[in-house]
């Protein structure tokens, strides 16, 4: 998968001995201590996972962690990371691929916690914006600021809107092509071939999500394989957390400032998602980028203002009421 971040059209694909006192019963605290200190036999196999890969950009300035989209689209925020590297020391974690363990939101949060600095700002794009919120809610003390760019959805109504807007953008020819790719992906037994089809499908949807993309902006990281199974496992779990009412309610734990940036031409509904999030994040600031789609750093008419806003806010000179930026 390439840059198109969170892809709702794919969600239909279905690809865890106490010390006794003489003449008296042991104290409850002693019993608990004994239970946890005594050797226990278990049939559970412990899997020791290696840390996820982290790429580094820039050599000076405050530390910023950039989270890519997908799920299952490693390298999709490379351009974002490289541009921020002019002003910040940027860490770009590549989220865990499917295979070793089931991929869940909690698994990705734990992976990020293992490689994050003790405290840093996070800039997340699309699914990466959602992961940034999930991380900040579970580790609020470790996030100094959170920028969410082109954030994914938290309710069925918004997801339905995404489908309708994408269908309109794709046109009849595009819709036929996307449906053909989805059908081929659903019937492909080879995992590597599935990943390639998933990347192709993401590229098609990514083009429909753009407004005025720089013509020379090719795929962010053609050498990194997309992860179709990783997308499905992770997105299924994200939807489960929403159905069970865990997210976005847990975002009320977030103490850092939150800046939400959204392209006015992005088919993902920014104002609707903003309103859902603000129920739990009253500190959220919202900026709508005119003449921009899902990836502002690739947009000819929005790139400069996008990076100016992000830099100023992260450096502490921002503070934007809801507004629109050219």
pLDDT single digits (tens) 174-189: 999 999 999 999 999 9
SS3 221: coil
Full-model pTM: 0.84
End-to-end CA distance of the chain: 29
Cα–Cα distance measured from residue 188 to residue 54, given in angstroms and rounded to the nearest whole number: 31
Residue ranges and CATH numbers for the domains of the chain are 54-156+230-325 (3.40.50.1820)
Cα–Cα distance measured from residue 132 to residue 129, given in angstroms and rounded to the nearest whole number: 5
Cα–Cα distance measured from residue 218 to residue 226, given in angstroms and rounded to the nearest whole number: 15
* DSSP conformational letter for 215: T
Cα–Cα distance measured from residue 73 to residue 231, given in angstroms and rounded to the nearest whole number: 8
Phi-psi category of 206—alpha, beta or left, where left has phi over 0 and alpha has psi -120 to 50?
A: alpha
17-30: b (≥16 Cβ within 10 Å) or e: ebeeeeeeeeeeee
Q: What is the pLDDT along the chain (326 residues), one digit of tens a residue?
A: 444 444 444 433 333 333 333 344 444 334 333 333 444 434 455 678 999 999 999 989 999 999 999 999 999 999 999 999 999 999 999 999 999 999 999 999 999 999 999 999 999 999 999 999 999 999 999 999 999 999 999 999 999 999 999 999 999 999 999 999 999 999 999 999 999 999 999 999 999 999 999 986 655 555 689 999 999 999 999 999 999 999 999 999 999 999 999 999 999 999 999 999 999 999 999 999 999 999 999 999 999 999 999 999 999 844 444 555 55
Q: Of 169, 152, 273, 159, which Cα lies nearest the Cα of 211?
A: 169
CB 56 within 8 A of CB 117: no
* Bridge partners of residue 93, in order along the sequence: 54
76-110: b (≥16 Cβ within 10 Å) or e: bbbbbbbbbbebbbbbbbbbbbbeeeebbbebbbe
Residue 108's H or E segment, with its range, is helix 105-115
């Amino acid at each position: 998968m390439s840059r198109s971040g969170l892809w709702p059209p794919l969600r239909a694909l279905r690809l865890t001995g106490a010390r006794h006192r003489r003449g008296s019963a042991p104290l409850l605290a002693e019993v608990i201590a004994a239970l946890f200190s005594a050797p226990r036999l278990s049939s559970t196999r412990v899997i020791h996972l290696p840390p996820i890969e982290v790429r580094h950009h820039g050599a000076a300035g405050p530390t910023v962690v950039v989270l890519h989209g997908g799920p299952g689209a490693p390298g999709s925020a490379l351009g974002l990371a490289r541009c921020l590297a002019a002003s910040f020391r940027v860490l770009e974690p590549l989220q865990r691929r499917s295979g070793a363990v089931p991929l869940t939101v909690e698994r990705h949060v734990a992976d990020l916690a293992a490689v994050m600095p003790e405290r840093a700002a996070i800039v997340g794009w699309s699914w990466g914006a959602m992961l940034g919120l999930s991380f900040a809610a579970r580790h609020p003390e470790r996030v100094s600021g959170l920028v969410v760019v082109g954030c994914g959805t938290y309710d069925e109504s918004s997801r339905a809107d995404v489908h309708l807007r994408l269908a309109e953008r794709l046109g009849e020819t595009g819709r036929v092509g996307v449906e053909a790719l989805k059908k081929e992906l659903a019937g492909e037994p080879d995992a590597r071939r599935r990943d390639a089809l998933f990347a192709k499908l993401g590229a098609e949807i990514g083009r429909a999500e753009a407004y005025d993309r720089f013509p020379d902006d090719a795929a962010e990281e053609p050498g990194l394989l997309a992860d179709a199974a990783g997308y499905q496992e992770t997105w299924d779990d994200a939807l489960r957390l929403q159905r069970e009412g865990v997210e976005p309610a847990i975002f009320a734990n977030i103490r850092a400032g939150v800046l939400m940036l959204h392209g006015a031409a992005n088919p993902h509904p920014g104002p609707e998602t903003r309103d859902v999030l603000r129920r739990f994040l009253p500190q959220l600031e919202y900026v709508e980028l005119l003449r921009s789609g899902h990836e502002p750093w690739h947009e000819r008419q929005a790139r400069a203002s996008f990076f100016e806003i992000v830099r100023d806010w992260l450096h502490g000179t921002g503070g934007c009421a809801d507004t629109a930026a050219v």
